Amino acid sequence: MSHQPVAIVGIGQTHHKRKRADVSMAGLVREAAQRALEDANMDWGDIDTVVLGKAPDFFEGVMKPEMYLADALGAVNKPMFRVHTAGSVGGSTGIVGSHLVSSGRHKRVLSVAFEKQSEGNAQFALGGGKGASIGAGGAFAPFIRSYIQRSGAPEDIGWMVAVKDRLNGAKNPYAHLKLADITIDKVKESPMMWDPLRFLESCPSSDGACAVIFTDEDGGKAASKPPAWVLATAMKSEPGWYSGRDPVNPQAAHACAQEIYKAVGITNPREQIDCAELYVPFSWYEPMWLEAHEIAAPGEGWKMTQSGATALDGDFPVNMSGGVLSSNPIGASGLLRFAEAALQVRGLAEDHQVGGANLAIAQAYGANAQFFAMWAVGSSLNPLG
């Protein structure tokens, strides 16, 4: 029978930095993969297949780098697969890896996602190799302006998200930015980058990698540490552009969440989900995704931020890891979200652990806010009882 249960038994990530001057590209992905193997109490030889995800190859200037990385990731004589779905790619890499187990194709799958942005320049790559690149911030700023206007949110919501995620990041030993002394004033006074987005409301550019090991039900039950169970996965896409498209509230974002909620039996996301890792590269995306993923009612997402509900000690913590605002190796950013959700339900998130987290969701999005990847993970196969 298809669709067998999938357990996450190994999670690893690098220390993310603006520039990981101490490692090669192979060294970077191996650092994450070796931590995941250690977590799973496995060795390279235990892995059946490797899935590699990353954003455009222009970032590092290596075409299809999975070819060069095959032996570095222990894939020799095994299947190796390469995913690229723009910003959502890290999430897709996790989902494609989990499907290789749920379909019964493989028993132990290693998904790795990375970006070594310091090798090149993200603005260059995002501009297609041309000048006057508006970058991701430039592309999303109009959407954010529109959201602020239609929701009536006060201007400090974005600043609050920027502070909250950085304080969470300060608790995460792997985070790139650890800004324990960040304040609303500091965010507010930081330079305007893409009006209305300020410097401290924007994600950094990081070198980093993330690795996740999936296994089947038996493997999950036999694991030495508590596993996370993949309860549902979804990838939804819509066109980046058509006349009248509303990129603030993408149809695909709704569809993606609805599919997950239906599969898991979630009828009241705000109540039933314990915490969420959402892809928030710019502060305002927290309330925007809370609404587009139907966790908050339309126009109400910012109130969750404002009330402190999304803080680590709130009733719906968001981006416990510090999120994309604290670490952004683009290709890995999605898998980092997915991995943090799994860490939470495994109870292994240490200083950024949400107490009693049994059901978590993670999301990543890409391109013109048009590609969405999401999964729900649980501490058991039926966390809602």
Partner 1 sequence: MADTVQEFVFNLTFPFTRTLGSTLSTFSSALAQGQIIGVRTGGRVIAPPLEYDPDTAADSGTDWVRVGPKGTVSTWTWVPEPTNLHPLDHAFGFAFITLDGADTPMLHLVDTGSESAMAAGMRVEAKLKAPADRVGRIDDIIAFVPAADPSPSEGAGEPFVAPEENDITEMDAYCDLQYVDNASPTTIMWAKALMEGRIIGQKCPQCDRTIVGPRGMCSVCAIELDESHIVEVPGRGVVSNFTIVTPTPYPGQTETEPFARCSILLDGADAVIAQQEILDVPVSEIRVGIHVEVVWAPENERSAADIDNRSRGSGGDIIVGWRTTGEPDEPAARYLDRMM
Partner 2 sequence: MAPTENDIAIVGFAQLPPERRTNLTESDLVLRSTREVIAQVGIDKSEIGFTVSGSCDYLSGQGFSFVQNTDAYGMVPAINESHVEMDGAFAMYEAYVRLLQGDIDIAMAVGVGKNSNSDPSTLFTVEFDPYYLTPLGTDTWTLAALQARALIDSGKATERDFAEVVARNRANAKSNPFAQVKGDYSVDELLAADYVRNPLRRHDLPPTTDQAAAVILARGKRAYDLCERPAWITGIDHRIEAHLPTVRKDITTSVSTRLAAEAAGVGKGPIDVAEIHAPFSFQELILRESLGLDASTEVNPSGGALAAHSVMTVGLIRVGEAANQIIKNGKNRTLAHTTSGPCLQQNLVCVMEGDQ
Minimal distance in Å, beta carbon 230 to partner 1? 25
Q: Which helix (H) or strand (E) holds 101?
A: helix 89-102
How far, in Å, CA of 189 to CA of 195, rounded?
A: 13
Q: Which stretch binds partner 1 (CB under 8 A): 5-13, 136-144, 327-335, 348-356?
A: 136-144
Binders of partner 2 in range 238-297 (CB under 8 A): 238-242, 250-252, 255-256
Q: Which residues contact 192 (CB under 8 A, 6 or more apart)?
A: 198, 199
226 binds partner 1 (CB under 8 A): no
Q: Which residues contact 284 (CB under 8 A, 6 or more apart)?
A: 144, 147, 148, 157, 158, 161, 197, 201
What's CA 88's distance to the chain center, in Å?
Answer: 8
Binders of partner 2 in range 3-42 (CB under 8 A): 3, 24-25
Minimal distance in Å, beta carbon 103 to partner 2? 4
Q: Is beta strand 359-366 parallel, antiparallel or unpaired with respect to 207-215?
A: unpaired
Instruction: Name which of 59 and 302 has its Cβ closer to partner 2.
Output: 59
Instruction: Residue 91: count other Cβ atoms within 10 Å of its Cβ.
Output: 35
Q: How far, CA to CA in Å, does 127 sit from each of 122, 133, 135, 137?
A: 8, 4, 7, 12
Q: Which of 15, 46, 107, 146 binds partner 1 (CB under 8 A)?
A: 146
Binders of partner 1 in range 68-87 (CB under 8 A): 71-74, 76
Is 202 within 8 Å of 193 (Cβ atoms)? yes
Q: Which of 9, 37, 100, 264 binds partner 2 (CB under 8 A)?
A: 100
Binders of partner 2 in range 63-92 (CB under 8 A): 63-65, 67-71, 75-86, 92
Strand segments (E) across 159-298: 192-194, 197-198, 207-215, 228-237, 275-277
In the list partner 2, partner 1, none, the entry touching 64 (Cβ below 5 to 8 angstroms by class) is: partner 2
How far, in Å, CA of 210 to CA of 329, rounded?
A: 9
How far, in Å, CA of 98 to CA of 109, rounded?
A: 8
Instruction: Name which of 184 and 192 has its Cβ closer to partner 1.
Output: 192
Q: Which stretch binds partner 1 (CB under 8 A): 82-90, 146-154, 176-184, 261-269?
A: 146-154
Binders of partner 1 in range 243-262 (CB under 8 A): 243-248
Minimal distance in Å, beta carbon 355 to partner 2? 33
Instruction: Name which of 13 and 233 has its Cβ closer to partner 2.
Output: 233
The footprint of partner 2 (CB under 8 A) covers 1-3, 24-25, 56-58, 60-65, 67-71, 75-86, 92, 96, 99-100, 102-105, 125-126, 128-129, 234-242, 250-252, 255-256, 367-368, 370-372
